A and B are shown apart, each in its own frame.
Chain A
Amino acid sequence: MQLPGLQGCFWGVRGSFPSGRPEHQTLGGNTPCLAISAPHNGQTLPLLIIDAGTGLLGLALSLLQTHPVSQFDILLCISHAHWDHISGFPAFVELLGPRANIKVVSLKRPAQSYSIENSLRWQQSRCPQTWEQIQARIEFAELSDRQSLSFQNFQVSTAQLNHPGYSSGFLVQAEEGQLAYISDIAPVCDILLAEPLYEDEQPSQLRQRLYDNEMWLANHAQTVIYDTFFTDPDFQGRPHWGHSTLERALSTCSSNLVERLFLFHHNSEYSDEFQLKRVAEVPASMEVRLAQERVPFFIEVRSKIGGQ
């Protein structure tokens, strides 16, 4: 029997801050948010969401329109707490209210660091609705590096990436297909930005682990979403910002049998026209697309998955 595959949809594709400028209307101006659902029984509820940028509210509005009476069981994976990845959370939980049952998943940070829960609570303290007034049911789950969690018919794994502080990529595996989310990330061969997760971890060990994580993510998915915020000259000027380039994305994915690459975390300094031109010049050894808001895509079963 042919399975229908996973369905994904970007609700936010832009890095750093949202943009309402006309030159960003093709790809979209919201900060990161990706919804993934596995259609079954005619339902397409996006059970799994990665990152809670401003686009999360657009997703909530769509959910309420298409499922006016449903309860929503949501697994919300948050890569890290930088504003562009969490600022959609307050309006999202307020809008869905008691109909939402949300499990927030993130990478487990060392005890002395801010947890994702702490960051979300701080954010909420500067919003009209206090944390105590939230009617959605929220629970938190922290996963160690490369630890997995099962949720309905998905398995989600974390993998720390090279970005200032503690940022995680995610591998989403289901019977119907696999997807890797690799954002935000800087090439670890050029600069080491992430903080160690373990007390005795040396920089060389950390560097190796981050490199292995990036390759592990790309090696297990036929669809990869990758941070291509920078052009090569941009990266040379601002390597410490923790973002990557198209060249690095192609290099990571071409060595890993990736079938489709989404360029993601678009830089608002560049117009969509520039981005379209950039992707048109890519030699086609795989399908390379720009992440675009509100355009669904499908992930079919892949015949050959990389080794465990």
Chain B
Amino acid sequence: MDSDRVQLTIWGNRQDQSLPGPGSNFWGGVSACYEIWSPCTATSRVILEAGHGLRQLALQRELPRADILLSSAHWDKIQGIPFTPNFYNPNWSAQIWAPAIPGQSLLESLLGQQRSDLCPVPNFYDPTIGALIELTEVVHDGPLLHPESSLANPPWSAQACLNVPGQLHSVCVTVGDRALLYLPAGAAASKSYPQADFILLGLPHQTPDRFADVGLAETKNKMALLLEQNPTAQIVLTNFLPWQQDEELQRLQFQLAQFSPKVQLARVGQTIPLH
């Protein structure tokens, strides 16, 4: 496995909702979607989150069978699905993983999203219309295993880390000898995670008046803890709030670069080698 060739491509980097516009032309303004890929895994993909960025990914890449790992079934993490053509292609297949949420099954969230009053597009989960989609709700920490999933076979593997039990899901994806840990907003840094070479870290959910004090401090604390546990890891910050405009993110990048040179911000369209 040529680990230098494992890549992370950023297709969407926002939490809550998309807000494209003049204030986000540089860093990007659509909701979260991250693709992990390598020429060695040409027949499979791992995708983190299915926000609006997923559509762009599907339009620009010929997407093979995919494992889609959701940190939650919140709207901003699934809203790209009804607009992604692959879901209406009977010859395409995917496995969607998400944490089990009491009273809100993954199927209910996906079907609810395409309720007739909310979405004019037919429900992809109908086998006569759509792709072959398997849903798995994650209940415990540990390896994500399913006989049909690419994650069950080398070079892929993935391990779930439920942060807030039943609500929020962090994940460590391994490709060959490279491990990427994805910690969305709300993931506790104090938890014991698998060792990682690369950490995709989501910003906390905050309003503008509280981010500068609370949100930034929380992010720095989290980064310090993570770097203590993973001294050689690179950190990519993402899941920006939709109101964070380019200028503010530019300032954030400057502040965090002073904190640690191993930190960078995720920019839509960017491909980052995982080494």
Binding site for B on A (CB under 8 A): 16-22, 24-25, 28-30, 54, 57-58, 61, 64, 80-83, 86-88, 90-91, 94-95, 97, 113-114, 118-119, 122-123, 125-128, 164-165, 241-242, 293-294
Known: A25-B25, A87-B79. A165 touches B52 (CB 8 A): no
> Would B18 and A126 count as touching, CB distance under 8 A?
no
> CA of A22 to CA of B54 in the docked complex: distance in angstroms?
17
* B73 interface hit (Cβ, 8 Å): yes
> Would A82 and B119 count as touching, CB distance under 8 A?
yes
- B-side interface size class: 35 or more
> Would B16 and A128 count as touching, CB distance under 8 A?
yes
Q: Which of B108-116, B139-147, B189-197 sits within the interface?
A: B108-116
Q: Please name all residues of chain B whose beta carbon is closer than 8 Å to the beta carbon of A22 when the two chains form the complex.
A: 25
Which of A18, A58, A87: most chain B Cβ within 10 A? A18
* B104 interface hit (Cβ, 8 Å): yes
> Would A16 and B208 count as touching, CB distance under 8 A?
no
> Would B116 and A165 count as touching, CB distance under 8 A?
yes
CB-CB nearest in chain B for A29 = B20
* B100 interface hit (Cβ, 8 Å): no
> CA of A293 to CA of B22 in the docked complex: distance in angstroms?
10
> CA of A163 to CA of B123 in the docked complex: distance in angstroms?
18
> Would B19 and A126 count as touching, CB distance under 8 A?
no
Q: Please name all residues of chain A whose beta carbon is closer than 8 Å to the beta carbon of B21 when the two chains form the complex.
A: 28-30, 58, 293-294
> Would A57 and B243 count as touching, CB distance under 8 A?
yes
Q: Please name all residues of chain B whose beta carbon is closer than 8 Å to the beta carbon of A118 when the two chains form the complex.
A: 117
> Would A30 and B20 count as touching, CB distance under 8 A?
yes
* B55 interface hit (Cβ, 8 Å): yes
> CA of A123 to CA of B109 in the docked complex: distance in angstroms?
10
Q: Please name all residues of chain A whose beta carbon is closer than 8 Å to the beta carbon of B83 when the two chains form the complex.
A: 16-17
> Would A81 and B120 count as touching, CB distance under 8 A?
no
**B223-249 to A contact mask, C-beta < 8 Å, 1/0:** 000000000000000000011000000
